[in-house]
Amino acid sequence: MSVALKKTPLARVKDEFGGKDKLVDKIVGVLDSGDESRDDLRKRLLGVSNTKLIRLHGVATKTKAAGGHDKLATETAEKLGRAKDKDYVAKLGTLSNGRLLDLQSTVKAPKAAAAKPAKAAKPAAKPTAKSTSAKKA
């Protein structure tokens, strides 16, 4: 019996991206660096572990595919059924991209009320003679 071995993060980075430098360049291209310059961000990311870089690349690409942070927050609120609650959407906007993606992946889509036909209510059972006589005693 052979056990399938899981690749190490270093092996994954080399196979999937061609090296740490190329992975960092892809992440810098996708991420919004904010106030920090791209060169400083690149230098900082070169010191990060390969596992964190792989996770960061996945989060950044999913966020970009969703349309950005603000759109991701509104989509998450819609999935939760609270899109009209502006304060809640604003609170979701303060969360990180990773947390929003995790929250969105764990939420199931709200079920429509019309999807299931309503069951007819069962008529109440009539009390039997035994049960009424037992209550009197």
Per-residue model confidence as pLDDT tens digits over 57-116: 999 999 999 898 899 999 999 998 888 989 999 999 999 999 999 998 888 755 554 455
Question: Residues, the chain, total?
Answer: 137
Taking the whole predicted model, whether its pTM rises above 0.75 is answered as no
Cβ-in-10-Å burial (0-12, 13-18, 19+) of 93 comes to: middle
Dihedral (Cα; 21, 27, 29, 30), 10-degree rounding: 170
Per-residue pLDDT band for 118 (boundaries 50, 70, 90) equals low
What are the pLDDT digits (tens) for 8-56? 999 999 999 999 999 999 999 888 777 788 889 999 999 999 999 999 9
